[in-house]
Structure 1
C-alpha cells in the first residue's frame, strides 16, 4: 500500500466533499468547518446514498437520501441507525492531501 496524492485541501470547500475513484468503489474526501479532512466510502450503509452530496456538520455527514448521520471519524452510523462505511487514512501535509488505499487510483478527483 502506498500513499497517493489526491490534491490540495483548497480543492475541497469548507463543509464539502470531493470524490476519488478507485477500481472498485468511490471514496468521499470531506473537509470540515474546522479544516479537518476525512476519507470514507461514498456509499451510505442504508440505501447506498452518495454521502459526498450530504451535509457536513462537525465530524459527521448526513446522507442526502434518508438523513442517516455517519461519523467521518469512524464510518459508523450514529443515533438509532446501524451500519458502517469503510474509512481510509488520509494525510494533510501543509495542505497537500494523500490517501492510503490497497488498490491503485484510477482517477484523481471529480
Structure 2
C-alpha cells in the first residue's frame, strides 16, 4: 500500500534567519528549520539524540552542521548523523521551497 505524502506549509523563507534555528511543531513532532548561508533550508527533529537531549534550534550552525547547545555534538543537517567520535542520528524531513513558502513533506 502506497503512502500519500503531504506538503505542509511551515514558514516564509524570507522570515528565516540565516544560521539560526526556527522551531515549529507538526502534530506531536518538534522540528527545527535551518537556513544555511548558501540559502538551502533543512529540517530536523528538534532534539539532540544524546540521552539527556538538547534543543537543536538553539544550537550553533556552522556550514551544514548544527552543534547541540548542551553537549556540543556535531550533527549533519543533510542526513541527521552525529559526527564521530560521538554517535547517533536525528530524524530529518524533506523540505521544498515554492516562491516564499517553505514546505515540509511528510
Scaled by the length of structure 1, what TM-score is found? 0.86
Name the residue aligned to 1:62: 67
1:98 paired to 2:94: no
Structure 1 segments of 4 or more deviating over 6 A? none
Q: Which has the higher contact order (CA 8 A, sep 6+)?
A: 1
Residues in 2 aligned to 1:26 and 1:50: alpha-carbon distance in whole angstroms: 9
How many equivalent residue pairs? 101
RMSD: 1.0
The match for 1:25 among 21, 25, 29 is 29
Structure 1 unpaired stretches of 5+: 102-110
Local SS of the residue matching 1:56: strand
Name the residue aligned to 1:2: 6
Greater gyration radius: 2
The match for 2:91 among 65, 86, 97 is 86
Scaled by the length of structure 2, what TM-score is found? 0.90
1:34 paired to 2:38: yes
Name the residue aligned to 1:104: none
Residues in 1 aligned to 2:23 and 2:65: alpha-carbon distance in whole angstroms: 16
Structure 2 unpaired stretches of 5+: none
Local SS of the residue matching 1:52: helix
